[in-house]
Amino acid sequence: MELLNALNEMEEIIETGFKVPMTRKVMVDEELVLDMMDRIRTTLPEEIRQAKWIIQEREKVMSDTKKEAGKLLEDVQKEMERQVDENEITRLARKKSEEIIERAEMVAQEIKQGARDYADEILQDIEMRIEVVNKEIQDARMELQGLRTSPQL
């Protein structure tokens, strides 16, 4: 959120700058723009930390899912061992265990995919924000470089 505020302030500095007659160029206070760029640079690491947190959470969900699937498998195996002497019960237990395993694998797959999709959306959003910031910084720098190289009025 602070990143967007800093970008809005940068935009305001540019919009309120002195306009050079008969050009699309604007003169701005170099110190203000550089300070704003420093603020943006300090804000970006927070966005990156948030992305790392999301990835860690995704890994945790995947790990928890694997543990749960392992526990389900263990429970099924114990149940099968307990009923191994009775043929019909054994057959039913195998069928039930296969259904549970299949269901657990499907749930695990859905959770993994959901976590991946969520993390990808967040990372894509952050990537787009960074691209916008980079573009605005490049434009501002080009504008500043153009002002430095143009003849003094």
H/E run at residue 146: helix 87-149
pLDDT tens digits for 83-119? 666 667 777 778 889 999 998 999 989 988 988 898 8
Q: Residue 97: how many CB atoms within 10 A of its CB?
A: 17
pTM: 0.35
- pLDDT score, position 57: 85
H/E run at residue 121: helix 87-149
- pLDDT score, position 51: 78
Name the band, by pLDDT with cuts 50, 70 and 90, for residue 148. low
Q: 111, 98, 104: which is closest to 72 by C-alpha?
A: 104
Token reading at 89 = 């019960």
- What is the three-class DSSP state of 34? helix
pLDDT above 60 (res 152): no
- pLDDT score, position 44: 76
Q: How far is CA 17 from CA 12, 31, 32, 96, 119, in A?
A: 8, 13, 11, 73, 40
Q: How far is CA 48 from CA 40, 124, 130, 146, in A?
A: 13, 12, 10, 32
- On whether the CB atoms of residues 83 and 89 are closer than 8 A, the answer is yes
pLDDT above 70 (res 151): no
Q: 65: Cβ–Cβ under 8 A, 6 or more apart, which residues?
A: 107, 108, 111, 112
pLDDT tens digits for 31-82? 988 888 888 888 777 777 777 888 888 888 888 888 888 888 888 888 777 7
CA angle 108, 61, 49 (to 5 degrees): 145
More confident residue, 7 or 45: 7
pLDDT above 60 (res 5): yes
